[in-house]
């Protein structure tokens, strides 16, 4: 596999910031700037960006969290989640790790994020630290609205395409550009093997929708789906190391009639499957009726719930409707049950929502789900963006991130049209990194604004390499600039040498 992780091209190097607890050593990207300032940037690439790191997909990544988990089990017994520790007032190594990581070098005692704050946010249910003990390759990260807005990249084969190797490559490609978590949404053949390869080689938490595999096990026949098949699938994926599960336990029989009256019905695959199952069996959603059993299982591994919004609106006309909000209320009830079992939980959200209706989504989610982190797909602020839906969704994503959403699921340019290829993944990830970063700036995350400030200083000083290296896609910025102009210019090619406003300003 080609090594795409060479930082030297970006004027950067990988450094590790040590914590106070054993084994806490947080990888960051250090960019050396022409004005003698260095800047530390949040880095999702794990050991891949270490100098001379040899990629070996058969061997997998080092187990950075293994000792921590083992020591904890020895001392406190099994069945203990990050939420349990937080509630006991205990700071885990993972918590110290994410505090250091979030600060990105900010060490102002007034504003810096502390391990205590991380612990308290987790204890309150306002943040999660996904950490399946069976996934020791994943670096700790935190999802919560006091922290940097995170982004998820979906990958996964469908019946129509792509091999295991390609999916691992896509996962690594996604983290190269900054994906904070990766969801493997494979629905075709080799689901287990694809997931195994991704888990062993990806340094970020991995999410799945277990229903997809459960349905494959009954050959795609919803009528043959049972709680037992589903539960076995959960166990299988817990054992493999999946860090969070999308589970559509909030869509109930009572919601279905309203959903069927919509312009675009049910657009969540998991939601439509459960709706069909309920209508065939005339029974309540088995994910809802067996919810406490699922809690018991997830607790044993510290797998987090991502409570799926099976009734998210699929178009502007269906936004904020009875079906959507009916389900959201149930998700809030399930969050409380989850917390009762010390299981970490986030709530999934829409979807397609026009700008003026976004705030209501956030306010109701905070109220009804008691502050559990919100994880949204966009929202897309229009339905007509075919070919450009990374943009319609980045607009909504940035806004809802500012308002309090903790993680954004990326949407690619091919949304509604086709599966994304590698370049689409790159563009989708970078687009969402920007949306998330814009939200971080707007909500005043203490580690966010420094990067913009250094970029602006570099711009005023015409330090071109620094400008490229401070962007989320140095390669693209560099290529665009140099396609038109040679290196070392003291002007950009937009205005030419005689019309540069900043040069004129300096001459005053």
In the region spanning residues 391 to 420, those forming contacts with a second copy, defined by CB under 8 A, are 391-392, 394-395, 398-399, 402, 413-419
| Region of 103-111, 141-149, 339-347, 378-386 interacting with a second copy (CB under 8 A) | 378-386
Interacting residue with a second copy among 37, 106, 264, 281 (CB under 8 A)? 264
Determine the Cα–Cα distance for residues 381 and 395; give it in Å rounded to an integer: 7
**Contact flag: residue 256 with a second copy (CB under 8 A):** yes
| Region of 26-34, 136-144, 242-250, 271-279 interacting with a second copy (CB under 8 A) | 271-279
Comparison of 295 and 381: residue with beta carbon closer to a second copy? 381
Q: How far is the CB of 246 from a second copy (least distance, A)?
A: 13
**Contact flag: residue 451 with a second copy (CB under 8 A):** yes
**Contact flag: residue 218 with a second copy (CB under 8 A):** no
For residue 263, what are its two tokens?
């312009």
Per-residue exposure over 242-275, b if at least 16 CB sit within 10 Å of its own CB, e if not: bbbbbbbbbbbbebbebbeebeebbbbbbbbbbb
Report the Cα 465 to chain-centroid distance in Å. Answer: 29
**Contact flag: residue 383 with a second copy (CB under 8 A):** yes
Interacting residue with a second copy among 60, 354, 371, 446 (CB under 8 A)? 354
Residue in 49, 9, 11 with CA at minimum distance from that of residue 33:
11
Determine the Cα–Cα distance for residues 299 and 8; give it in Å rounded to an integer: 42
**Contact flag: residue 359 with a second copy (CB under 8 A):** no
H or E stretch including 26? strand 25-32
Using CB under 8 A, which residues numbered 221 to 250 contact a second copy? 222
Interacting residue with a second copy among 435, 445, 463, 465 (CB under 8 A)? 435
**Contact flag: residue 22 with a second copy (CB under 8 A):** no
Interacting residue with a second copy among 83, 127, 273, 345 (CB under 8 A)? 273
Report the half-sphere exposure of 420 (CA within 13 A, side-chain side): 28
Taking the CA atoms of the chain, what radius of gyration do you get in angstroms? 23
Q: How far is the CB of 148 from a second copy (least distance, A)?
A: 13
Identify any residues that bridge with 151 across adjacent strands, giving them in sequence order.
Answer: 408
Interacting residue with a second copy among 15, 55, 229, 449 (CB under 8 A)? 449
**Contact flag: residue 471 with a second copy (CB under 8 A):** yes
Interacting residue with a second copy among 388, 422, 423, 490 (CB under 8 A)? 388
Q: How far is the CB of 37 from a second copy (least distance, A)?
A: 13
Q: How far is the CB of 452 from a second copy (least distance, A)?
A: 4
**Contact flag: residue 106 with a second copy (CB under 8 A):** no
Interacting residues of 404 by C-beta distance below 8 A, sequence separation 6+: 145, 362, 366, 374, 443
**Contact flag: residue 348 with a second copy (CB under 8 A):** no
Range 6-15, long-range pairs (CB < 8 A, 24+ positions): 7/49, 9/474, 9/475, 10/468, 10/469, 10/474, 10/475, 11/465, 11/466, 11/468, 11/469, 11/474, 12/41, 12/469, 13/51, 14/43, 14/45, 14/49, 14/50, 14/51, 15/40
Q: How far is the CB of 155 from a second copy (least distance, A)?
A: 12
Q: How far is the CB of 196 from a second copy (least distance, A)?
A: 21
**Contact flag: residue 473 with a second copy (CB under 8 A):** yes
Identify any residues that bridge with 332 across adjacent strands, giving them in sequence order.
Answer: none
Distances (CA, A) of 169 to 64, 162, 246, 403: 22, 11, 23, 34
Strands 127-128, 38-41: pairing is unpaired
Using CB under 8 A, which residues numbered 297 to 336 contact a second copy? 314-318
**Contact flag: residue 254 with a second copy (CB under 8 A):** no
Comparison of 74 and 160: residue with beta carbon closer to a second copy? 160
Give, as one character, the DSSP assignment of residue 146: T
Comparison of 80 and 262: residue with beta carbon closer to a second copy? 262
For residue 438, how many other CB atoms are within 10 A of its CB? 20
Q: How far is the CB of 334 from a second copy (least distance, A)?
A: 21
| Site string (119-158) toward a second copy, x via CB under 8 A | ---------------------------------------x
Interacting residue with a second copy among 42, 212, 291, 305 (CB under 8 A)? 212
Interacting residue with a second copy among 82, 240, 246, 467 (CB under 8 A)? 467
Determine the Cα–Cα distance for residues 53 and 57; give it in Å rounded to an integer: 12
| Site string (482-501) toward a second copy, x via CB under 8 A | -xxx------xxxxxxxxxx
**Contact flag: residue 361 with a second copy (CB under 8 A):** no
**Contact flag: residue 258 with a second copy (CB under 8 A):** no
Q: What share of the chain is helix, strand, coil (3-state, %, to 5)?
A: 45, 10, 40
Using CB under 8 A, which residues numbered 55 to 94 contact a second copy? none
Interacting residues of 342 by C-beta distance below 8 A, sequence separation 6+: 80, 81, 83, 84, 87, 299
Q: Using an 8 Å Cβ cutoff, are 354 and 321 in contact?
A: no
For residue 295, what are its two tokens?
């809690």
Q: Using an 8 Å Cβ cutoff, are 464 and 491 in contact?
A: no
Q: How far is the CB of 34 from a second copy (least distance, A)?
A: 16
Interacting residue with a second copy among 105, 188, 371, 446 (CB under 8 A)? 188
End-to-end CA distance of the chain: 54
Comparison of 240 and 469: residue with beta carbon closer to a second copy? 469
Comparison of 82 and 465: residue with beta carbon closer to a second copy? 465
Determine the Cα–Cα distance for residues 216 and 421; give it in Å rounded to an integer: 24
């Amino acid at each position: 596999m080609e090594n795409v992780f060479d930082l030297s091209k970006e004027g950067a190097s990988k450094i590790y910031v040590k914590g106070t607890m054993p084994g806490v050593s947080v990888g960051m990207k250090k960019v050396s700037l022409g004005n003698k300032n260095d800047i530390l940037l949040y880095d999702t690439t794990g050991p891949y960006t270490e100098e001379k790191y040899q990629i070996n997909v058969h061997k997998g990544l080092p187990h950075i969290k293994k000792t921590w988990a083992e020591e904890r089990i020895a001392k406190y017994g099994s069945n203990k989640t990050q939420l349990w520790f937080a509630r006991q007032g205990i700071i885990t190594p993972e918590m110290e790790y994410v505090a250091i990581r979030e600060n990105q070098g900010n060490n102002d005692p007034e504003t810096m994020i502390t391990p205590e704050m991380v612990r308290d946010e987790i204890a309150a249910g306002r943040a999660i630290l996904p950490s399946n003990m069976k996934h020791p390759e994943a670096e700790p990260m935190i999802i919560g609205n006091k922290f940097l807005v995170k982004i998820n990249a979906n990958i996964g084969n469908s019946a129509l395409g792509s091999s295991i190797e390609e999916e691992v490559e896509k996962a690594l490609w996604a983290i190269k550009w900054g994906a904070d978590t990766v969801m493997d949404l494979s629905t075709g053949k080799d689901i287990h093997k694809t997931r195994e390869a991704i888990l062993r080689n990806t340094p970020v938490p991995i999410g799945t929708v277990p229903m997809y595999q459960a349905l494959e096990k009954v050959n795609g026949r919803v009528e043959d789906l049972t709680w037992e098949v589903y539960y076995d699938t959960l166990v299988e994926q817990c054992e493999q190391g999946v860090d969070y599960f999308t589970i559509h336990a909030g869509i109930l029989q009572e919601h279905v009639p309203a959903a069927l009256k919509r312009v675009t019905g049910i657009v969540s695959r998991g939601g439509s499957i459960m709706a069909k199952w309920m209508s065939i069996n005339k029974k309540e959603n088995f994910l809802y009726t067996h919810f406490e059993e699922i809690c018991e299982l997830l607790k044993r591994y510290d797998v987090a719930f991502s409570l799926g919004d099976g009734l998210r609106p699929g178009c502007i006309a269906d936004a904020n409707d009875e079906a959507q909000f009916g389900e959201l209320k149930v998700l809030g009830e399930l969050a409380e049950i989850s917390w009762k079992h010390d299981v970490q939980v986030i709530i999934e959200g829409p979807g397609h929502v026009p700008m003026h209706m976004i705030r209501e989504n956030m306010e109701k989610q905070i109220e009804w789900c008691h502050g559990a982190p919100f994880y949204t797909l966009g929202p897309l602020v229009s339905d007509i963006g075919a070919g450009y839906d990374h943009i319609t969704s980045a607009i909504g994503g940035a806004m809802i991130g500012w308002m309090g959403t903790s993680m954004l699921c990326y949407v690619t340019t091919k949304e509604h049209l086709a599966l994304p290829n590698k370049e689409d993944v790159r563009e989708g990830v970078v687009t969402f990194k920007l949306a998330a970063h814009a939200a971080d700036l707007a909500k005043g995350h203490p580690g966010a604004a420094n990067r913009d400030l250094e970029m602006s200083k570099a711009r005023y000083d015409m330090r071109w390499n620094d400008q490229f290296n401070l962007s989320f896609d140095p390669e693209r910025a560099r290529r665009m600039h140099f396609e038109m102009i040679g290196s070392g210019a003291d002007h950009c090619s937009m205005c030419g040498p005689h019309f540069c406003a900043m040069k004129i300003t300096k001459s005053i």
